[in-house]
Chain A
Amino acid sequence: MPMTEEGILRSEFRWAAVAVGAVSVIMLALIYAGLVHHINPPSNLETIDPNALHLTSEFTESNLGTRVAADGQVTSRIVATQFAFQPQCIVVPANRPVTLRFAAPDVIHGILVTGTNVNTMVVPGYVSQVHTVFTKTGDLLMPCHEFCGLGHSEMSATVRVLSENEFKPDREGKAGCDLF
């Protein structure tokens, strides 16, 4: 390849085409994941008063954990607070759509569920919501992944994924780790 002005320009254009091609392929792969596999960033904009979490109907202590609605929708509500999740363990069924809802009364937290794509920030004043389907049964670790203070490293919870046969909520539709 001769080092003429034209040769340099040609290789610059070729390299630019390679870069544009690589970015395009990656963008297509992300669009494919979103449209075909339904893997999208959680995007829920819902505000809540962080000073009154324990007083609101949704995140009162008695309403935390997993609840199955009359239409079969499974929703788990969790409060992330320094330095623990409430409840410490939630039960969810495998191979069924599950909605996880989080709120924080104090500082910014973050959660992920190991081995899944569940990953979101939990910001005071907002309700973080993630829809997912757990495909493997077992106990999954759910640590806080946003440094929230001196006890951050101790802050984790368990997501117990049960098969459809094992997942049996009580008469009110509630399901907790103490039942299983």
Chain B
Amino acid sequence: MGSPLTDDPAAKTDGVRSRQDDEALARVMHDVPRGALALSVLTVGLLLVAWFLIYALIFLPRGMVS
């Protein structure tokens, strides 16, 4: 994503915009993993909690079987 080799003012503007986009992308990429991690922890955590609720409140009280 380098700036184009031209004196065209519009292209210069594009180059500035491109640099800004790169910085924004770097900022977003810096922040994204935290959100992804939080979402993963939340969903997997809820799944595990649901599993243990069914295990403790339904499966174990239903008694022995073999």
Mark A residues whose CB is within 8 Å of B: 1-3, 7-8, 11, 15, 18, 22, 25-26, 29, 33, 37-43, 115-119, 130-135
Contact = CB atoms under 8 A, between A and B. Distances in A.
Given A29-B52, A37-B60, A39-B60, A132 B33 contact: no
Interface of B: 29-30, 32-34, 37, 40-41, 44, 48, 51-52, 55, 59-60, 62-66
A33 B62 contact: no
Given A33-B60, A117-B59, A22 B44 contact: yes
A130 B40 CA distance: 40
Contacts of B51: 26
A38 B55 CA distance: 14
Nearest to A132: B65
Given A2-B30, A3-B30, A22-B44, A39 B65 contact: yes
A151 to B, nearest CB: 28
22 contacts: A1-B30, A1-B33, A1-B34, A8-B33, A22-B48, A25-B48, A33-B55, A33-B59, A33-B60, A37-B60, A37-B63, A38-B64, A39-B59, A39-B60, A39-B63, A40-B65, A41-B66, A119-B65, A131-B64, A132-B64, A132-B66, A135-B63
